[in-house]
Amino acid sequence: MKPLMLGLAIALAVSSCATTTSPTGRRQVVGAVSQQQLNQLGAQAFAQMKAQKPQTTNAREAAYLRCVVNAVVRELPAGSQSGWESAVFVDKEPNAFALPGGKVGVYTGIFTVARNQDQLAGVVAHEIGHVVSRHHDERITRQAGASTLLQIGGALLGSRYGQGAANAAVQGGSILAQTGFLLPGSRAQETEADVVGQQLMARAGFDPRGAVSLWQNMIAAGGGRPPQWLSTHPDPQARIGELRARSESLMPTFEQARASGRRPNCG
């Protein structure tokens, strides 16, 4: 869509927004854009990222990520499991994201903190948790309701994914720079993605305790502070406590998944 047409569509859709319940029971207001539009925007944002940032030439890294993504998405509801695409971008920052339409991207820097498949699954499942919890829809709807036509969204690549990518998006004048797709979520959304993500990884046969050690690695790598892309999360130590407690409650789910043959061997 042309920028004006998409902006107008979003503005007109605000009047038909709906109240729904998230996977954790939280009240959400969504519907400023259709799922088809969300998927289209996700595909466009992913294509733009691939045009702006180099991808790894390491086939093992790409296969490793693809294996983890495939294992996690097999636990999604029927109809949401096919068509997922992943990419590893060359960048030393430990970043990751997932987009509507089945797109998952990580930066090579993520492998410095996600040191085994359970930790990588903690990242991937968390980001997919944002998608299945309709957080992109929720953010766009909130922004559309509060903004003028020219202010719908905000920066596409935002501070969460690096100033260089944000500058490139703005300079390109793309409507994607106005959707807020990659802006950090609220703390409620980030906590919810933790909950949903740990459930997904446990059902997929990944040890949910990997999310705990992942976060510990991230804090250590950041000198006691989380990476910029996780700055909207709750207090790091409180979050570790929540992840640890939740992982213990999910151990039966993990063990049942393993007993049923869901034993990912991604590398």
CA distance 187 to 190: 5
CA distance 86 to 71: 13
CA distance 102 to 136: 13
Q: Each residue of 183-204: pLDDT tens digit? A: 555 778 888 999 999 999 999 9
Distance of CA 109 to the CA centre of its chain: 16
pLDDT of residue 127: 95
Q: Each residue of 10-60: pLDDT tens digit? A: 555 555 567 878 887 888 877 777 888 888 889 998 999 999 999 999 999
Q: Is 12 exposed, middle or buried (0-12, 13-18, 19+ CB in 10 A)?
A: exposed
* pLDDT (mean) for 217-245: 73
The two structure tokens encoding residue 137? 């829809």
CA distance 212 to 103: 24
Q: What is this structure's pTM?
A: 0.79
Q: Give me the phi and psi of 109, to 5 degrees please.
A: -65, -20
Kindly indicate the confidence band of residue 258, based on its pLDDT and cuts at 50, 70 and 90.
very high
Please, are residues 160 and 229 in contact by the beta-carbon 8 Å criterion?
A: yes
CA distance 140 to 70: 27
pLDDT mean across residues, the chain: 79
Instruction: For residue 235, give the DSSP letter.
Output: P
Please, are residues 30 and 141 in contact by the beta-carbon 8 Å criterion?
A: yes
CA distance 141 to 31: 6
Active site residue 248: no
Which of 181, 35, 173, 2 is CA-nearest to residue 105? 181
According to DSSP, the β-strands at 96-99 and 27-30 are unpaired
- The residue from 61, 127, 192, 242 that is catalytic is 127
Alpha-carbon distances, residue 200 vs 123, 197, 206 (angstroms): 11, 5, 9
CA distance 124 to 105: 9
Cβ-based neighbours of 123, under 8 Å, separated by 6 or more: 96, 106, 110, 114, 214
